[in-house]
């Protein structure tokens, strides 16, 4: 998100305020119904293992009613992963005053043509809902392309 500041911040009172720190909001489905968005503060400073541990901890505490108020107020961008519920694709809705939501569908195997051969490929669909007052489709495509490139080389994420 640091490379794409137009997707990391808040639009309030007619102005956009980009945030230098990334507090990654995660949509958590509550067992009793409804959902909450909990923020992992300074997400880029965590490695993949620490990020997953933080996410698991937040999911547990959210479902037990134990999130801190700062965790539900300070997300600068949100990720919604409905893939675990079997959805191939997500068309997200921005969580104001944030300006972007990244949707992630389920990981699945599908046929893929590579070098004139059909091979199995592991795929996941990503979508982006963004506030056009601060970004455009070209910027969104660049962000999604960057995510794709990073996921092609997961060892670079640590």
Please list the active-site residues.
132
d(CA 112, CA 34): 37
3-state secondary structure 52-111: HHHHHHHHHHHHCCCCCHHHHCCCCEEEEECHHHCCCCCCCCCCCCECEEEEECCCEEEE
CB–CB of 96/133 below 8 Å? no
Closest CA to 101 of 39, 14, 25: 25
d(CA 33, CA 2): 34
């Amino acid at each position: 998100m640091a490379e794409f500041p137009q997707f990391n911040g808040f639009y309030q009172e007619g102005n956009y305020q980009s945030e230098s720190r990334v507090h990654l909001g995660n949509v958590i489905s509550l067992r009793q119904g409804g959902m909450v968005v909990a923020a992992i503060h300074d997400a880029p400073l965590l490695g993949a293992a620490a990020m997953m541990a933080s996410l698991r901890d937040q999911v547990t505490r959210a479902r037990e009613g134990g999130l801190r108020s700062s965790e539900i107020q300070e997300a600068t961008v949100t990720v919604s992963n409905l893939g675990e519920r079997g959805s191939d694709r997500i068309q997200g809705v921005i969580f104001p005053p944030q300006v972007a939501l990244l949707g992630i569908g389920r990981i699945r195997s599908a046929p893929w043509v590579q070098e004139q051969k059909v091979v199995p490929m592991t795929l996941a669909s990503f979508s982006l809902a963004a506030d056009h007052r601060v970004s455009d489709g070209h910027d969104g495509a660049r962000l999604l392309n960057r995510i794709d490139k990073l996921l092609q080389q997961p060892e670079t994420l640590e």
